[in-house]
Structure 1
Amino acid sequence: MTPDFPPVPFNRAAPAPDFPWPNGAKSALFIGFDVDAETAWIGNTPANADRLVTVSHGGYDGRVGIARILMLLDELALPATFFIPGWTALAHLAACEPILAAGHEIGHHGYLHRRPDRGDIDAAREEIDRGFEALGQALGVRPIGYRAPSGENFPELMSHLAASGIRYSSSFRDDIRPYRHILADGGPGPVEIPVNFAFDDWNFGMSSRVDPRPLFGRDAILPLWIDEFEATHAWGGVTTMVLHPQVSGRPMRWHLLRDFLRYVQAKGDVWIASGAEITQHFERMERMAE
């Protein structure tokens, strides 16, 4: 029998409030990196643990990608948020410690990058709890921001995130400005800094033997990013990027990302901020509106 869903929006959050960005900026840019490493390949497909060439895609993070991304951010003097699965922090500690040393924000990205499944709530909560524990053990941090592994969430998990101290999420794709979630019990949930799917580099720069997809080069991606950014900028939104060191840390894509970030910097009226900074600004505007 086909389920009968009540005709109401799945997301009960109020529309995103209208508030000014800091320093007279017209829009915001949120540079977020998902430091999945091997978890992108084994979290939801454990059998890949026996396919060393397949998981070597993820191994690029620790060997090359993270360091190159940090070089780029240092060159441009830009802040970013690195969403790190707990397993990645433990397995690639030497590569992850410089992220913290450079002053970038660390966000929560699960433990083994397992997709949250409402059919196994206990496992989904454990993925969150183990992620917190591992990030604390490896890097001495307890993140306030969360990006859902494989981009999924459900009401009970959102409540667990809020109870665990998560103040913002950056996973949903249903707005261009930040808003506050409503939990299942009607209470306030985390702030959402919504994602723009066009800025997920995995869509254009990752393929594999088991999932053959075309790779897109500079002439396809840079105009797309600029056009999407310009339109978001004109609407006063936030351009949220979902980047991966195993993709944008590759040589050509590193230069592509640098050119895009330089383009945004040259505008002069874009607030480039971490997820924590955007959340703090949202919360400040929220208090002023009370």
Structure 2
Amino acid sequence: MTFDLSPRPLNPAPKTPKMIWPNGARSALFIGFDVDAETAWIGNNPSNVDRMVTTSHGGYDARVGIAKILELMDELGLKATFFTPGWTALAHPVQCEAMVAAGHEIGHHGFLHKLPDRTKCDEAFEEIDRGFEALQSALGVRPVGYRAPSGENFPELLAYLKKSGIRYSSSFRDDILPYRHAGADGSTGPVEIPVNFAFDDWNFGMKSRMSPGTLFGREAVLPLWIDEFEATHAWGGVTTMVLHPQVSGRPMRWHILRDFLKHVLNKGNVWIATGAQITSHFEALEAASGQ
């Protein structure tokens, strides 16, 4: 493959039109969970399927994490979006059905959590198709939102997502407001609800025997989350979280998340919404502005 390295904006999407949040809110909070389960450990490294201790990190989702996260959302009266690989839904249907029964949004997160690769378009498209089929089969849902496994995307995949009925993506890192993707040819793509990397709990709370490193506790994580949220709130943006039940479903980290969400709730002027709700609001503003 020849790579085009000519100077140009690598994301041709236009800037967001004036953003007004519902009900007089100053900012928005998007609580997104990636329910990777074992796919986080086998999707990009299939040989791990025979390493039971390694995959047990992901097994925590079904045994403990999902239920504890649902318990927290119920306690606080919040709705979240659960980006779920198709493999997870097929392997752990009871736990995933509980997410649907509790009224949460199910998002698309691939089938086996494989990193999308532009040199393997057919494989990337198959991951989308198999993910849809599995989520429909196991949970009776067809998602409208997508979060890229391992956080990667490329133009052909964005076009395929829109063609497949995906209305929004939540993977990119280049804004604090939603925006509409655009192709180099002027075509339009899904809405993007950008991610703030500071709110990816994997960075602070997940290490394994194969990737040793520092784990960060309350004194590091909670002040960082609060400070980043407060600044985003002041700027009128959306705070998008990338959480994992196998991380934030752990006992101490569950309490960190709980305390952070209670801080946001106490502000009183934050719109806490699912990805589908944020997308519908953006689409309404877009239509009203004539864009």
State TM-score, norm by structure 1: 0.98
Q: Any conservation in 1 of the 2:12–2:184 contact (CA below 8 Å)? A: no
Offset, 1:286:
0.4
Give, in angstroms, the shift of residue 3 of structure 1. Answer: 5.5
Which residue is equivalent to 1:242?
242
Alignment of 1:111-130 (within 5 A): 111-130=111-130
Residue identity matched to 1:144: V
Q: Describe the superposition over 1:89-123 as per-residue Cα deviations: whole angstroms up to 9, x where unpaired.
A: 00000110010000000000000000000111000
Q: Which runs of 4+ in 1 moved over 6 A?
A: none
Q: Distance in 2 between matches of 1:181 and 1:244?
A: 26
Query: 1:116·1:149 contact (CA, 8 Å) conserved in 2?
Result: yes
How does 1:55-74 map onto structure 2 within 5 Å? 55-74=55-74
Post-superposition CA distance 1:149-200 (Å, at most 9, x none): 0000001111000000000000000000000000243211000000000000
Residue 44 of structure 1 aligns with which residue? 44
- Percent identity of equivalent pairs: 74
AA of the residue aligned to 2:43: G
What's 1:178 paired with?
178
Q: Aligned to 2:6, what secondary structure does the other structure show?
A: coil
Q: Output the CA distance in 2 between the equivalents of 1:181 and 1:153.
A: 12
Matched, 1:75 2:75: yes
For 1:121 and 1:153, the matched residues in 2 are separated by: 11
TM-score (norm 2): 0.98
Task: Tell me if the contact between 2:152 and 2:171 (Cα under 8 Å) persists in the aligned partners.
Answer: yes
| Aligned residue runs from structure 1 range 185-200, under 5 A | 185-200=185-200
Number of aligned residues: 289
Q: Distance in 2 between matches of 1:165 and 1:186?
A: 19
TM-aligned CA distance change 1:165 to 1:184, over 3 Å: farther
CA distance in 1, matches of 2:289, 2:15: 15
More deviation in 179-188 or 162-171?
179-188
Work out whether residues 174 and 194 of structure 2, in 8 Å CA contact, stay in contact via their aligned partners in 1: yes
Gaps of 5+ in 2: none
Please name the residue that 2:132 is paired with: 132
CA pair 184-135 structure 1, distance change in 2 beyond 3 A: farther
Instruction: For residue 17 of structure 1, report the CA deviation from its aligned partner.
Output: 1.8
Report the equivalent of 1:106: 106
CA RMSD of aligned residues (A): 0.9
